[in-house]
Amino acid sequence: MATREDGAMNEAAMASAEDGAIKEAARKQYWLPLESNPEVLNEFATKIGSQGAFAFHDVFGLDPELLAMVPRPCIAVTLLFPSDAMKPAKAEQLRKLSEEDYKPDDGIFFMRQYVGNACGTIAAVHALANNSFVLGSDSGLAQFVAQNTNLTPEDRGANLARAKFISQATEASAQEGQTATPGLGDEVNHHFITFVNIGGVVYELDGAKPYPINHGPVGEDLLAAVAEVIKREFIAHVPDGMFNVMALAHAESSRAQTGAESLPQRPSKLSKRRMATAVPGLGASECRSLRALQPSDLTSHCWAR
């Protein structure tokens, strides 16, 4: 004779199977990847709910004088890095954390990535969702955050895959980049993540990892703290790799603040295409000259998965 407990167990099993099917369906999706470009991310942010008081800015280098060119306050930082080259370091990091009693802050809005090539989208969503004061109260992203706050990172990731307003904003914004847009499902070789300040701590939000990563105190300035994390935890492992950094900061133009002549000029469309090292078909000879760039000369505007 079936009991009420048996019925509850069957319902739980069915819910688990349905949840697994949703995540599996999400894994079969591919979105157009967002270019690592402030104009692209700002357009995407506006489409999903940013009110415009804060904007994404290029970070031209990790030296103090270059960090000083970025408007303040800085409330989030995105990093684009060579994903395959970083796999050993990431695996070792997770191995060490698994041996500790590691628990990230409960107040972080973090989601897993299931959709292919959506890491740029998720990086931007992480940056905005964890600074929700930048969003319009009735915006699509504000509503998405409210509806998913009490869910697991896995369920949030599955729901992102079904959020039409986000996928449509991603597709529209991806077309506005300055390099040829890869096709759906094309393999790209860089990965986007975000760093935010949660309770005075620098947290790395990477949808490919199972949880947020605590990188220690923010101190007086999030951007300066994240610059040290990037040098120590990323560039040190791939010193000849190509990286791109952007800051979500006050929307005041960095050129208006410091003077256009003091900032590196943006590359032409042709040179940006050469910099888009993850675009399929780009020859190794075209990339080789970029691999000697130092941390103070970060590459610009690559694609990420």
What are the catalytic residues?
Answer: 119, 191
Residue at token pair 């975000």: 194
Secondary structure element (H or E) that encloses residue 248, with its range: strand 244-250
What are 220's two structure tokens?
């007086």
d(CA 54, CA 69): 15
- Residue 99 to residue 180: CA distance in whole angstroms: 44
Do 68 and 224 form a contact (C-beta atoms < 8 A)? no
Q: Is the dihedral of CA 58, 275, 295, 85 positive or negative?
A: positive
CB 178 within 8 A of CB 272: yes
Q: At what angle do helices 140-148 and 119-129 cross, to 10 degrees?
A: 80
Alpha-carbon distance 78 to 297, whole Å? Answer: 16
Element at 216 (helix H, strand E): strand 213-217
